[in-house]
Amino acid sequence: MSKTALAYLVSLILLGGAVVLGVTVGTVSISPAVIWNPSSDEAAANILWNIRMPRVVLAGLVGAALAIAGAAFQGLLKNPLADPYTLGVSSGAAVGAVMTLFFGISIPFLGMYTLPVISMIGALITMLAVMGFARLVDRSMKMETVILTGIIFSSFLGSIMSLMIALTGEELRQIIGWLLGSVSMRGWPYVQMALPFVLVGSFVLWLYRRELNAMLFGEERAQHLGVDVKKSKLAILIGGSVLTGSAVAVSGTIGFVGLVVPHITRLVWGSDHRHVLPLSFINGAALLIVCDLVARTIISPTELPIGVITAFIGAPVFAFIFFRQRRGGL
């Protein structure tokens, strides 16, 4: 078997295992047999299909979206520390989402999709602003400059959110979810809200897999190789923003997934975006399903926000990558 086929096989098995664990483990333990044979235990099947499965699918979609977006941002910026969270893009999307709830915005014809669409716009605007500012500071867009700019924007956008939360009365509990991220108590409508955008966004990024490979060698080099840099950049930014926006709209800001997953994927399977993108998608889904499982079971019956778990794993990985980049290998 080729290394590539093995990569996909291992990743899919991990994802399958994560899904099975995700729907069977919890305060009520359910036998995996119920998945294939719902009639064996009606009550368990009900919990499995109406409570746990939408939660697992949503976690999977959010993880996949953040991971593939992270992989694309890293390629685009040639920056291994970039991800929707460290770039401040998640915060931009969260501000969009909080604003939608705070002002009760509803765009005609969009209906339930108003929330993800405004989040995406928030994400895109933030992404453009961060890149624009970083370029102003340092033409070569050094790794640290971009991340520092992301932190500045995150902090600023976070304060706007805090202000809106402070001004809200009873909506407070719902909004606070966007700060730490959660996929609990969402149900199938949220899956429906995110699914089309996650698929479209991922497909757009996958179309630009070869351009991303070229851009890893720098924009100038990519242009030499025949890449329409402006067009590709815009498409990748929009694709990444769509993914981040839809993920944040349904789950809030969950950090580091887009950093950890592509990094490990590259480490194990190589840097070719033709495979890094789809593999990050699959592995991101698996990772977030497992993180959610841990979040809701580790100090059961109390549930931790999922962002706490991802940050617990992600921050050390961030430190590790930073160290490796600066000190050259380990």
What is the contact surface with other proteins in residues (CB under 8 A)?
74-75, 78-80, 143, 207, 210, 213-214, 216-218, 220-221, 223-229, 266, 270-272, 325, 329
Give the shortest CB-129-to-other proteins separation in angstroms: 22
d(CA 176, CA 95): 12
Give the shortest CB-321-to-other proteins separation in angstroms: 10
| Contact (Cβ atoms closer than 8 angstroms) between residue 78 and residue 215 | yes
Give the shortest CB-85-to-other proteins separation in angstroms: 19
> Around 99, how many Cα atoms within 13 Å sit in the side-chain half-sphere?
20
Comparing CB distances to other proteins, the nearer of 45 and 207 is 207
Comparing CB distances to other proteins, the nearer of 101 and 216 is 216
Give the shortest CB-330-to-other proteins separation in angstroms: 13
| Contact (Cβ atoms closer than 8 angstroms) between residue 171 and residue 97 | no
Give the shortest CB-226-to-other proteins separation in angstroms: 3
301 three-state secondary structure: coil
| Contact (Cβ atoms closer than 8 angstroms) between residue 103 and residue 259 | no
- Residue 111's H or E segment, with its range, is none
Name the burial class of residue 326, with classes exposed (0-12), middle (13-18) and buried (19+) by CB atoms within 10 angstroms of its CB: exposed
| Contact (Cβ atoms closer than 8 angstroms) between residue 80 and residue 325 | yes
| Contact (Cβ atoms closer than 8 angstroms) between residue 318 and residue 259 | yes
| Contact (Cβ atoms closer than 8 angstroms) between residue 127 and residue 241 | yes
Comparing CB distances to other proteins, the nearer of 35 and 135 is 135
In 3D space, the residue among 192, 193, 191, 184 whose CA is nearest the CA of residue 293 turns out to be 184
Give the shortest CB-139-to-other proteins separation in angstroms: 9
> Around 25, how many Cα atoms within 13 Å sit in the side-chain half-sphere?
18
Phi, psi of 322 (to 5 degrees): -60, -45
Give the shortest CB-8-to-other proteins separation in angstroms: 16
Comparing CB distances to other proteins, the nearer of 97 and 147 is 147
